[in-house]
Amino acid sequence: AYEYLIMKNSGKHIDVSRLFIYYNARLKDPRYQNGLWDGGVSLSRGVTALEEFGCCKESLYPFIIENINKQPPAVCYEEGIKYRIVDSMPITVNLNQMKACLAQEFPFAFALATYKSFFDAKRNGGYVPMPNLNDEQQNTKHGMHAMLAVGYDDYSQSFIVRNSWGETWGDRGYCYIPYDYMANGQFCKRSHTIKAISGDSHSRLQQDNQYYDPYGWIPDNNTNYYSESNYADPSSSCNSYEDHLR
- Is the pLDDT at 155 greater than 90, yes or no? yes
Asked if 197 and 210 count as a contact pair (C-beta separation under 8 A), the reply is no
Buried/exposed 75-95: b ≥16 CB within 10 Å, e otherwise: ebbebbeebbbbbbbebebeb
pLDDT at residue 10 in the model: 59
pLDDT mean over 71-88? 91
For the chain, the average pLDDT equals 79
Which residues on adjacent β-strands are paired with residue 188? 112
Between residues 22 and 233, which one has the greater pLDDT? 22
- Is the pLDDT at 220 greater than 70, yes or no? no
Helix axes 18-27, 43-53, angle to 10 degrees: 100
pLDDT at residue 127 in the model: 96
- Domain range annotation of the chain: 1-83, 87-201
Architecture of domain 87-201: Alpha-Beta Complex (3.90)
Q: How far apart are the C-alpha atoms of 155 and 32, rounded to whole Å?
A: 44
- Is the pLDDT at 189 greater than 80, yes or no? yes
- One-letter identity of residue 97: Q
Tens digits of per-residue pLDDT, 34-45? Answer: 999 998 888 889
Q: Count CA within 13 A, CB hemisphere, residue 233.
A: 11
Asked if 61 and 76 count as a contact pair (C-beta separation under 8 A), the reply is yes
pLDDT mean over 31-56? 90
Own/partner long-range contacts of 150-153 (Cβ < 8 Å, ≥24 apart): 150/102, 150/107, 150/174, 150/240, 150/241, 150/242, 151/102, 151/238, 151/239, 151/240, 151/241, 151/242, 151/243, 152/98, 152/99, 152/102, 152/179, 152/238, 152/239, 152/240, 153/237, 153/238
Residue 31 Cα distances to 18, 43, 72, 141, angstroms? 20, 15, 20, 19
- Is the pLDDT at 195 greater than 90, yes or no? no
Asked if 202 and 7 count as a contact pair (C-beta separation under 8 A), the reply is no
- One-letter identity of residue 125: G
pLDDT at residue 239 in the model: 64
